Amino acid sequence: MRILKSLWIWFSSVALLTLWLIPVGLVRLFDRRDPARYRAGRTLRRLAPILVAINPMWKLRTEGTLVSDPRRPYVVVGNHQSFADIPFISTVPWEMKWFAKAELFKIPVLGWLMRLVGDIPVDRHDRRRAAQALILAAQFLRNRCSVVFFPEGTRSRDGRVGGFSDGAFLLAVREGLPILPVAIDGSGDCLPKNSWVFGQPRTVQFALLPAISTDGLTSKDVPDLRNQIRQQIIAQIATWRGVPAESVDGLASNQPAAADKSQQPYINNSR
């Protein structure tokens, strides 16, 4: 049954993405004066709640405070459990460019859409291209559009939060922009790594944490800033699960990942 449901979900998702090429392409034609391609990107992200809603395996619960000005740029950083994180986080009602691995841009339809709206490919194995990607991210931020990073660099295999790289935090400090931490939990079971079969029905928890100012900070402050935000994300996930923070911290020990034992109240529920 899971295989049949998975086939249906993939078919319907690909069909919707293909159909979405038309409105995104049309909006992109009339969005040429905005270097941030904001309206084109926002058109694509409007598909995310639909993709979540048509999937009988997913239920998304969101908490936190939405930003008051969608064109105020943030460097958004979050933990990464699954490819499904992308539609879940894209349900927020403003546009954010994705700092994503270059392989995603090679996928037919999905890659075309990501290029149309200005998402940023990064080659993690080429430092020069990675630096160029950060320069492009800075340009979008200067044009009043937020950018999303997964500073772990890869999806978690066990649900714990791995180490964070410095790139996103250094970018925020250099641009003098606030960092918006986001935490997500449960998505790893929705679409397990290296599998196309969706997991059992699962509630995914997603939180927008308070923004962190970088005013007055320098590159010397980046390690402390990185660790502070990483610990905030870990603390949120630990609260959801009802476990000590150490059991969520992939760098703390070799403890096995703890199961999700609790849920908190939310400001928005969607399927």
**pLDDT value at residue 31:** 85
**pLDDT value at residue 202:** 84
Residue 162, helix vs strand vs coil? coil
Q: Which two tokens stand for residue 80?
A: 């990464």
Residue 258 above 50 pLDDT?
no
Identify the CATH class of 2-270.
Answer: alpha beta
The reported pTM is 0.89
**pLDDT value at residue 44:** 97
Domain ranges in the chain are: 2-270
**pLDDT value at residue 89:** 96
User: What pLDDT, in 10s, does the model give residues 115-142?
Assistant: 999 999 998 788 888 899 999 999 999 9
Residue 159, phi-psi category: left (phi > 0), alpha (psi -120 to 50), beta (remainder): left
User: What pLDDT, in 10s, does the model give residues 56-95?
Assistant: 888 999 999 898 999 999 999 999 999 899 999 999 999 9
Q: Quote the percentage of the chain above a pLDDT of 90.
A: 71
Residue 261 above 70 pLDDT?
no
One-character DSSP codes across the chain: -HHHHHHHHHHHHHHHHHHHHHHHHHHHHT-TT-TT-HHHHHHHHTTHHHHHHT-TTEEEEEEE---S-TTS--EEEE----TTHHHHHTTSSS-EEEEEEGGGGGSTTHHHHHHHHT-EEE-TT-HHHHHHHHHHHHHHHHTT-EEEE-TT-S--SSSSB-PPPSHHHHHHHHHT--EEEEEEESHHHHS-TT--S--S-EEEEEEEPPPB--TT--GGGHHHHHHHHHHHHHHHHHHHHTS-GGGTBTTT-SPPPPPP------SEEE-
Question: In the predicted model, what is the mean pLDDT of residues 220-247?
Answer: 97
Strands 268-270 and 58-64: antiparallel
